[in-house]
Structure 1
Amino acid sequence: METLDDFDIAILRFAQTNNYMPQREIGEKIGLSTPAVQRRIKRLTKLGFISSNVAIVDREKLGHYVTLLVEVSLESEKANDIDQAKFLFRARPEVQQCYYVTGDTDFILIVVVPSMHHYELLTRELFFGNPNVKHFKTFVAMDLVKVGTTISLDKHGTTSF
């Protein structure tokens, strides 16, 4: 595995919290030239440490008011059936996150939809219409307390600069 030095870690910290920060400004803050920061970002991307550059949009401003956590249990846990479920869940934009987990439940999904009516339609397609879904259990989020995208980059579990 490729090792990261302190400059790489500092660049990743800035990229995680403000991907619009100019490379010149990053360089000034960490003591590198703009071309050096640019080369490192290119290298970190090529190595897969930076997997994508995205905008995080406000779901409510776009009319997606309902967040649900859904436990899904399958009838069959054969590798092919698990792979089919992963493909099905990945293909739906309403499924924001999908975790294949251990225990009594096979998958935990984070689903964001405009309304419960939309969720009902989604359940007909994903769960009721799927003979391999044994059962599913839905939890409705009352409040969005925290959503994060940053990964701790030091030994102490903090992301301070």
Structure 2
Amino acid sequence: MPLDRLDLRILSLYQRDTTLSGEQIGAQVGLSAAAVQRRLKRLRDEGVIQAETAQLDCRPLGLNLTALVHVDLVDESARAARAFVERVLARPEVQQCYGVTGEADYVLVIVAADLPAYEAFCQACLLHDPNVRSFKTQIVLDALRRGGPLALPEDGPAQASPPPPA
């Protein structure tokens, strides 16, 4: 089912604070609390809302190292790539995993306690994997934003951008 303007306004508020009540959201979008809850249920059922989680600060938890890891595979077949992805997604250090274009096949966002913990991850997942041709690591010096709300179109689903002028 396509998302309408009210769905997008509800999602915009809800993604910033999932503790907002139906009444609070409804007051801002012009719906009853019950209507907001029905829409949220539908959005969950349709998979638009995939999860509702707490966003934690890494540093107080002793997770002081974030790394961006660009991985180049030897065998990029569906079977081999799926095996690689399943293996890395099983690791709690892997916070994000993207299949990408360009020099790397995958970019991983790794969060670990420190450099030795990151090195242990590399030993376990990358260095001894015969399908990993190479990997490059960038250590994050300053995490200015971790996740965050998506930029949602205000007037309905986003339309394709017109091509730039020639």
Which TM-score applies when normalising by structure 2?
Answer: 0.89
Q: Take 2:146 and 2:30, find their aligned partners in 1: how far apart are those partners?
A: 31
Q: Take 1:127 and 1:49, find their aligned partners in 2: how far apart are those partners?
A: 33
Residue of structure 1 equivalent to 2:13? 14
Q: Which runs of 5+ in 1 are unaligned?
A: 157-161
Residue of structure 1 equivalent to 2:74? 75
Q: Take 2:2 and 2:143, find their aligned partners in 1: how far apart are those partners?
A: 35
CA contact (8 A) 2:8 2:154 kept: no
RMSD over aligned Cα atoms: 1.3
Residue of structure 1 equivalent to 2:98? 99
CA contact (8 A) 2:97 2:106 kept: yes
Deviation at 1:91, TM superposition (A): 0.8
Deviation at 1:147, TM superposition (A): 2.1
Q: Which runs of 5+ in 2 are unaligned?
A: 156-166
Deviation at 1:155, TM superposition (A): 6.0
Q: Take 2:152 and 2:119, find their aligned partners in 1: how far apart are those partners?
A: 40
Q: In 2 relative to 1, CA 27–155 (structure 1 residues): closer, same or farther, beyond 3 Å?
A: closer
Q: Which has the higher contact order (CA 8 A, sep 6+)?
A: 2
Letter in 2 for 1:86: V
Residue of structure 2 equivalent to 1:44? 43
Deviations 1:111-140 (CA, angstroms, capped at 9, x unpaired): 000010001111100111211111111111
Deviation at 1:100, TM superposition (A): 0.8
Q: Take 1:81 and 1:7, find their aligned partners in 2: how far apart are those partners?
A: 43
Alignment: residue pair count? 155
Deviations 1:91-116 (CA, angstroms, capped at 9, x unpaired): 11101101111122111111000010
Letter in 1 for 2:85: K
Q: Take 1:108 and 1:43, find their aligned partners in 2: how far apart are those partners?
A: 32
Say which SS state the counterpart of residue 76 (structure 1) adopts: coil
